[in-house]
Amino acid sequence: MDRKSGGRRFEPDRGLQGEDPRSVTTGGFDVYGRSDAAGTPGVGSGGVRVAGDLQFRWELSGSGGVTYRIADGTSEHETYIGYCTDALADLLYAMTGLYGNSSGERFSFDRESMETRWLLRRQGTDVAIAVFEFPDGGTSWGSADETGGTLLWRSVQPRGVLCHAVVEAADAVLREHGEAGYLEKWMRHPFPVAALQDLQRLHRREDGCRHERCRKGIGPTSNGTVP
């Protein structure tokens, strides 16, 4: 199943209207967003990138697959996705969009045959994150709202905390595999260097990040390695 890549913007009055973004009951348990994370980045065990209470991991597995995990200290969401879309680029470009004038961003991961859809809604300096699953991506892909989807995970995070965690995770993938190694594993799409550089630059400038890797930036060499 071949999908068209690219993050898609959404209007905040679609779908999630009328709910408290900090608390929602789903699947028999409560998920509470955290908007008071300290924002101090660090590196946890197992390659997990940590920013405040938020943890995000993006780990290539086998050929043409990735497992990601996101956790906010209260709950977590983890899933496996395939290479039919330029998944990491879509994630990075959606985060970049949070620094523009849009009210939010939406993008999807292809799980053949399911769809996992992220909605990012700006709330001042915070971002409300909602992750939905659709059982039949062939019919739900590109739909205007979340009708028929199941809410998997939800949180509220400061934009700087969320974007720093994503930058750290993507940068860790590049440092571990290099551009050549990434392409060998992901196969259909190269590592999105430009997307990571754009997000890192905006995060550093708009959020005032002083973390060493953010200040230094990334600079892969022509042979695909990273200094």
| Residue 32: predicted pLDDT | 27
Predicted confidence band of residue 141 (pLDDT cuts 50, 70, 90): low
| Residue 23: predicted pLDDT | 35
Predicted confidence band of residue 215 (pLDDT cuts 50, 70, 90): confident
Among residues 30, 11, 167, 20, which one has the least CA distance to residue 103?
A: 11
| Residue 4: predicted pLDDT | 45
Is residue 43 in a domain?
A: yes
Q: For 33-62, give the DSSP string.
A: --------EEE-GGG-EEETTEEEEEEE-S
- The domain in which residue 110 lies consists of 23-216
Is residue 14 in a domain?
A: no
Is residue 10 in a domain?
A: no
Tell me how far apart the alpha carbons of residues 177 and 181 are, in angstroms, rounded to a whole number.
Answer: 5
What letter would DSSP give residue 100? Answer: S
Tell me how far apart the alpha carbons of residues 51 and 166 are, in angstroms, rounded to a whole number.
Answer: 9
HEC per residue, 75-94:
CEEEEEEECCCCHHHHHHHH
> How much is the average pLDDT of 62-86?
92
Give the C-alpha distances (Å, rounded to integers) separating 105 from 19, 100, 118, 119, 161.
18, 10, 8, 6, 17
Half-sphere exposure of 20 (CA within 13 A, CB side): 9
Residue pair 80/111 in contact (Cβ under 8 Å)? The answer is yes
| Residue 62: predicted pLDDT | 82
Is residue 7 in a domain?
A: no
Q: How many domains does the chain have?
A: 1
What letter would DSSP give residue 40? Answer: -
Q: How many CB atoms lie within 10 A of CB 122?
A: 19
Is residue 89 in a domain?
A: yes
Is residue 17 in a domain?
A: no
| Residue 35: predicted pLDDT | 30
Q: Is the peptide bond before 113 cis (omega within 30 degrees of 0)?
A: yes
Answer whether 0.85 is exceeded by the pTM: no
pLDDT, the chain, mean: 77
| Residue 138: predicted pLDDT | 65
Is residue 112 in a domain?
A: yes
Predicted confidence band of residue 52 (pLDDT cuts 50, 70, 90): low
Q: What angle do CA 191, 113, 149 make, to 5 degrees?
A: 100
Tell me how far apart the alpha carbons of residues 201 and 134 are, in angstroms, rounded to a whole number.
Answer: 34
**pLDDT 10s digits, 176-187:** 999 999 999 998
Residue pair 86/108 in contact (Cβ under 8 Å)? The answer is no
Tell me how far apart the alpha carbons of residues 111 and 136 are, in angstroms, rounded to a whole number.
Answer: 10
Which alpha helices (DSSP H) does 55-158 contain, by range? 87-97, 137-140
Is residue 225 in a domain?
A: no
| Residue 211: predicted pLDDT | 81
Q: Which amino acid is at 89?
A: A
